[in-house]
Chains A and B, each alone.
Chain A
Amino acid sequence: MAEIKTKNFLASSQMAIKDPQLRQALEKVGTGFDGARREAIEEISEAKWEEWRLKAREIKEHTIENLDYYLDMLYTNVTKAGGHVHFARDDNEANAIVSKLVEANNIQIATKSKSMVSEELGLNGVLESLGVDVYETDLGEYIIQLAGETPSHLVAPALHKTKGQVASLFQDKLGIPYNEDIEAMAKTAREILRDKFLNADLGISGANFLVAETGSLVIITNEGNGRLCTSAPRIHIGITGMEKVIPSLEDLATFLRLLPRSATGQRLTSYVSIVTGPRRVTDEDGPEQFHLIIVDNGRSKMLADPKLREALYCIRCGACLNICPVYQKVGGHAYGWVYPGPIGSIVTPNLTVLQNAKDLPFASSLCGACREACPIKINIPRMLLNLREELVQPNSNANSTSKFSEDIAAKSYTKLMKHPGILKLGTMILTGLQKPFLKGGVISSVPIPPLSIWTRSRDLPKLPDKTFHQIWKDSLKDNQDNNG
């Protein structure tokens, strides 16, 4: 399993915000990706978009409610097409299946097209330990593999890097002159990877969708690397989560409209590859073997929970990341595991350990922009609230001194609000006490947390002489008939 650093959210996000290069790199998230998404929706009209979203949600709802049925259908049709289906309960099982195939087929070189599930499994490390040379072939993935890093975005894995940083990395790792020109850098990577494609004996891909009725694996890319990974080497292994299955090719059409527009604002990606089984006798090329590994790794736990089930509708377009004001500030790595951003704050705690990821559900202002951007209308804020509730349960393992004091604060607040008399007295006392802190009609500094945290960057308003309750009682209540 990929290393879990969710516990470090606070420190990592603080560092991220102070990092000027990350700031610069993250600028393209909102204006670039999200701007393009909005334009793409405008082009086809809000009404049409809404229609597609509802259709997509309906398909996902139906498929996830009948997941066993469609996985069975998928199994039958992949097998019928000459492929092999493997079900993996967790990362260990998935990695063991790949390892066995690697050893049985004497694999030396593997090329990979982008797969977040393989990141989840920590698959590259496993392959390397078996002596396999692994090459990521998506440009972004290639960059972070060279840098020894992990993806920071679902769609654009190297989004956290500026072009200057990539130019330095290429200079350092590939021994080429420093050149910030993106096209030139892409050309260099292509030339290096072309040779790997031709020599690889194994191609590994993820899947954007699995089509049950045909037993097909669908990947969409802009670089064509996915097509090469799945057709050039003699073995193709597709690895993906069990929620990726959809019933039919007709359903696929709906998602092919939604996914590129939501991700990058494109009407369609440059490549849409539909892979069905290994090479047939009549085919000119294609792999001799096709293996599909369907991974659970915690997903069935989410499936079993009606409150969290809809997180499995996610098509990993990244729209919720791009629009999220928190993601825009802290970037993907701060979230501490494979899936960042709003949807990551639901998925990560559930696929790892909730108690170690307790910051993720709380590090949101609940602004709801993610739900608005989601092409499947996934109610992310609602699920964040559900996870928060779970985390503060008395039997929660998230016990800590901060939870203890928050428990007391919540109980005291409830008491106070239920007893207006005490509240009134408290307000009177505070109104008197604020005097030494007043400066120019506002309070600029209070030495007690959490107010001290507030006042480090903003003023607090002065407590007025009278609350609205008092004003109502003193003068407003009886004016009813004089007015209006």
Chain B
Amino acid sequence: MVNPKGITASLYVTCIVDQLYPQVGVSVVNVLRKLGVHVEFPVDQSCCGQPLFNSGYVSQARELALRVIESFKDSEYIVVPSGSCAAMFREFYPGLFESDPKLHKLAQDFSKKVYEFSEFLVEVLNVNQVKSSSDGLHTFHTSCHMLRELGVKNQPLSLLEGVQGIQTVDLPHRDVCCGFGGTFSVKYPHISEAMLSDKVDNVLSTSCDILVSCDMSCLMNIGGALTRNKSEIKVKHLAEILDEESS
């Protein structure tokens, strides 16, 4: 297939996918290529700085932000398989440099190029269905930053609905936080665990086979509790489902 749009997308893979779930990054690349997008991967990329920023260490976050902006300076589109990291880029990077007009402009230009994975497919590529097939009952967890910072709500759901051979079921209280919240999960573990426990109960109530989301941090949290509870439910990033083609 030729690349009709001639689009080149630069992948920001996120720390958690790079270090813990590299197969998600591979799926993102596969899906984008399947759609005819040329994929680049700037290897100098680092953490987006969100863990520092959310902990109050703003000047340290700024150091990492500059590094990321530099790594992607030639990119046309930046695709991020995480609503949370994408929100850091788009909603918070410009604010980091408010006092420096030159850097502020750089950060603004950078942030305008950033898209969360499902958002990129639907809004930029105008793709509502990716040729893919799988099986089993799937349910979707909406991650907080993707929904409330980026305003990405229905895009991943419509993409999931388009996968051949699967069934979907609504997750009750889909948009309630899973309790991860980065360092919150270890600073206030009792609260985080109580929130997680509700999320797990809701997931279990669906009797699904697969829990899908667009943030591996939520899925690490919920998935970690599911395996601890000896549940058979698997967690997958949306890109992994869209990458599947059972023949």
Interface string of A341-380 (1 = CB under 8 A from B): 0000000000000000001001111111101100000000
Q: Which of A13, A442, A444, A459 has the most CB of B within 10 A?
A: A459
Q: How far is the CA of A198 from the CA of B194 in the complex (A)?
A: 48
Q: Is B18 an interface residue (CB 8 A)?
A: yes
Total interface residues on B, CB under 8 Å, equals 74
Q: How far is the CA of A282 from the CA of B35 in the complex (A)?
A: 80
Give chain B residues whose Cβ lies under 8 Å from the Cβ of A454.
185-186, 189, 224
**Contact for A410 among B13, B15, B57, CB less than 8 A:** B57
Chain A residue nearest to B200 in the complex (CB): A458
Do residues B149 and A365 form an inter-chain contact, with CB atoms below 8 A? no
Give chain A residues whose Cβ lies under 8 Å from the Cβ of B181.
364-367
Q: How far is the CA of A11 from the CA of B232 in the complex (A)?
A: 35
Q: Is B169 an interface residue (CB 8 A)?
A: no
**Contact for A367 among B52, B57, B144, B187, CB less than 8 A:** B144
Decide: A418 near B148, CB < 8 A? Known: A363-B188, A458-B225, A477-B41.
Answer: no
The residues in A between 314 and 363 inclusive whose CB is less than 8 angstroms from any CB of B are: 325-326, 329-330, 359, 362-363
Give chain A residues whose Cβ lies under 8 Å from the Cβ of B184.
362-366
Do residues A365 and B43 form an inter-chain contact, with CB atoms below 8 A? no
Do residues B144 and A368 form an inter-chain contact, with CB atoms below 8 A? yes
Q: Determine how close the nearest CB of chain B comes to the CB of A188; give it in whole angstroms.
A: 35
Do residues B191 and A414 form an inter-chain contact, with CB atoms below 8 A? no
Q: Determine how close the nearest CB of chain A comes to the CB of B212; give it in whole angstroms.
A: 17
Binds B, one of A41-49, A84-92, A253-261, A463-471: A463-471
Do residues B57 and A469 form an inter-chain contact, with CB atoms below 8 A? no
Chain B residue nearest to A371 in the complex (CB): B148
**Contact for A420 among B3, B44, B58, B191, CB less than 8 A:** B44
The residues in A between 425 and 466 inclusive whose CB is less than 8 angstroms from any CB of B are: 427, 440, 442, 444, 449-450, 453-454, 456-461, 463-464, 466
Q: Is A100 an interface residue (CB 8 A)?
A: no
Give chain A residues whose Cβ lies under 8 Å from the Cβ of B221.
458
Do residues B52 and A329 form an inter-chain contact, with CB atoms below 8 A? no
- B contact patch SS: helix
Decide: A392 near B46, CB < 8 A? Known: A459-B224, A471-B26.
Answer: no
Q: Determine how close the nearest CB of chain B comes to the CB of A373; give it in whole angstroms.
A: 11
**Contact for A468 among B1, B18, B144, B192, CB less than 8 A:** B18
The residues in B between 175 and 202 inclusive whose CB is less than 8 angstroms from any CB of A are: 175-177, 179-196, 198
**Contact for A325 among B47, B177, B220, CB less than 8 A:** B177
Binds B, one of A135-143, A262-270, A286-294, A382-390: A382-390
Q: Is B154 an interface residue (CB 8 A)?
A: no
Give chain A residues whose Cβ lies under 8 Å from the Cβ of B227.
440, 442, 459
Q: Is B141 an interface residue (CB 8 A)?
A: no
Give chain B residues whose Cβ lies under 8 Å from the Cβ of A473.
43
Q: Determine how close the nearest CB of chain A comes to the CB of B45; give it in whole angstroms.
A: 9
Q: Determine how close the nearest CB of chain B comes to the CB of A259; give it in whole angstroms.
A: 23
Give chain A residues whose Cβ lies under 8 Å from the Cβ of B196.
457-458
**Contact for A480 among B17, B33, B53, CB less than 8 A:** B33
Q: How far is the CA of A34 from the CA of B192 in the complex (A)?
A: 21
Do residues A388 and B56 form an inter-chain contact, with CB atoms below 8 A? yes
Q: Is A483 an interface residue (CB 8 A)?
A: yes
Give chain A residues whose Cβ lies under 8 Å from the Cβ of B176.
325, 367, 369
Q: Determine how close the nearest CB of chain A comes to the CB of B59; give it in whole angstroms.
A: 9
Q: Is B64 an interface residue (CB 8 A)?
A: yes
Do residues B148 and A367 form an inter-chain contact, with CB atoms below 8 A? yes
Chain A residue nearest to B37 in the complex (CB): A484
Do residues B191 and A330 form an inter-chain contact, with CB atoms below 8 A? yes
Q: Is A187 an interface residue (CB 8 A)?
A: no
Decide: A362 near B187, CB < 8 A? Known: A406-B55, A459-B227.
Answer: yes
Binding site for B on A (CB under 8 A): 10, 13-14, 17, 325-326, 329-330, 359, 362-369, 371-372, 385, 388-392, 406, 410-411, 413-414, 417-418, 420, 427, 440, 442, 444, 449-450, 453-454, 456-461, 463-464, 466-473, 476-477, 479-480, 483-484
Binding site for A on B (CB under 8 A): 1, 3, 13, 15, 17-23, 25-26, 29-30, 33-39, 41, 43-44, 46-47, 49, 51-58, 60, 63-64, 67, 144-145, 147-149, 175-177, 179-196, 198, 220-221, 223-225, 227-228
27 contacts between A and B (CB under 8 A): A17-B191, A325-B176, A325-B177, A329-B194, A362-B187, A368-B145, A369-B177, A389-B58, A392-B56, A406-B55, A413-B51, A417-B49, A420-B44, A449-B186, A457-B228, A459-B223, A459-B228, A461-B220, A463-B19, A468-B17, A468-B26, A472-B29, A473-B43, A479-B33, A480-B38, A484-B1, A484-B35
